[in-house]
Structure 1
């Protein structure tokens, strides 16, 4: 028994931990590799449609000249009286447009009075209850985008604006 205690005392503490560390690290690296490979495989499958599959309209109409996104602030902020029958209510909203078309800023500047007019009319038709929920704000956002695109399509023949964002939205 004394020999066993002597042998145990001579062994360095934690020596067995190194033997356990190698398989654990190897397992972690293997799991990460499998996860990365699976993610790559699945993302590749999602992007390439099968032969004979219908291509969604959005990906089919991707313009060849699509560049980086550009954000254009419509300044100053829109401040309107809301159409609430119960009293004076106000809406203040800051709007930014996103486009990938080069040179659209000049066209927007040229037609800004019409765009601001259409958006002011749209915003002033709202009620405080009508813009309280997220869904209502998203619906208003979609309507505002359609107004801007309609003005640009009428004036230039193409919509040019990909998205409209509210960067500030205050009702009072």
Structure 2
């Protein structure tokens, strides 16, 4: 009988230690979360808003119209020869244009021949050795986006195309 009482007391001590540990962990997590909130969610956005206001207006002036993102697929993939140091390679790129809003989509569809010509000009000026690397592909995409936006700005008065996206890229 004395042994039973001893076992009951030991079990009670284990439960109280476990409960104490759980309470300490919850308090520490709550304190850490509160500290994070106060340190990183302070007045920073208000300060950044005053400093970057001039930059935002210049970016917004060149940005395409806001709205739902829509994608305009080019009717056929671009196939071209790309010269390289060791050898010439054949490249095939499938392209889609990301635009915002139905009006921008219609304007982009209306000017597909001009966009295709611009993209082919940018693509054919590339080097096969650069296109093999990821950095070269990203640079080509950025150049294509810049040129298409410039052409659309000349034609429609605003850069309708937000991004040129490569949906297929094959190099042989």
TM-score of the alignment, normalized to the shorter chain, above 0.5: yes
TM bucket (normalised to shorter chain) is 0.7 to 0.9
CA distance in 2, matches of 1:57, 1:126: 32
Say which structure is richer in helix. 2
Give 1:107 shift.
Answer: 0.8
Runs of 4+ with deviation above 6 angstroms: none
TM-score between the two structures when normalised by the length of structure 2: 0.75
Give the structure 1 partner of residue 71 of structure 2: 71
Q: TM-score, normalised by structure 1?
A: 0.75
Q: Summarize the Cα distance change of 1:131–1:88 in structure 2 as closer, same or farther, 3 Å threshold.
A: closer
Counterpart position of 1:131: 131
1:155 Cα deviation from its structure 2 partner: 0.8
Stretch of structure 1 that moved more, 151-160 or 70-79: 70-79
Counterparts of 1:60 and 1:30, CA distance in 2: 45
Deviations 1:137-161 (A, max 9, x none): 2211111001111221111000022
For residues 138 and 121 of structure 1, what CA distance do their matches in structure 2 show?
Answer: 17
How many residues are treated as equivalent by the alignment? Answer: 169
* Unpaired runs of at least 5, structure 1: none
Gaps of 5+ in 2: none
Is the deviation greater in 24-33 or in 88-97? 24-33
Q: Which moved more, 1:19-28 or 1:107-116?
A: 19-28
Shift of 1:12: 8.1
Partner residue, 2:53: 55
Counterpart residue number, 2:142: 142
- Is the contact between residue 152 and residue 158 of structure 1 (CA under 8 Å) also seen in structure 2? yes
Q: CA separation of 1:14/1:103 partners in 2, compared to 1, >3 Å: closer, same or farther?
A: farther
**How many Å apart are 1:113 and its aligned residue?**
0.5
Q: Distance in 2 between matches of 1:40 and 1:101?
A: 39
